[in-house]
Amino acid sequence: MNNTSFAWLAGLFASTLSLSALASDGHEKFVNNCSGCHGLEAEGIPGLAPALNNPDLWNKLGAKRNEYIAGVVTGGLSGKLKSKGNDYDGLVMPPQDFIETADLVDITRYVINDVNKVDGAPDATLINQLKSAPKSHEDLHKLRNGG
């Protein structure tokens, strides 16, 4: 094997490991920070917290999905909502703004990309913006419901 081929293969291997590490980091951070309420595989816990493995929701949100998930993790969410046939009312997801921005980026990327197989995820700029000026729960419900 010549040096060029070796260098190319080494680069490919390293980038594959990096992508795997990103996915596992997001999963690990999700498990450590979110799974107590949303379940180990983001399946939700009826009566406690909605399923996040809900491609219909994330696809329906379209271009607003990043704003929605970033708004929920930074500002929390309360009020009535329906997810995968289950009603949730009266429980509050507290803001998770104490979690490092980079970790919130990894967690939201994991939920959107890996769990739901949907493109896009909020970046650090959006997370920081919403940490500084959180969306109201009313505004988050409007986003979720197509507003």
Evaluate if residue 7 carries a pLDDT over 90: no
d(CA 11, CA 15): 6
Architecture in CATH of 22-144: Orthogonal Bundle (1.10)
Give the pLDDT confidence score for residue 138 in this predicted structure. 97
More confident residue, 147 or 142: 142
pTM (2 d.p.): 0.83
Burial class (CB in 10 A: 0-12, 13-18, 19+), 123: middle
pLDDT tens for each residue of 65-121: 999 999 999 999 999 998 888 889 978 999 999 999 999 999 999 999 999 999 999
pLDDT tens for each residue of 44-54: 998 899 999 99
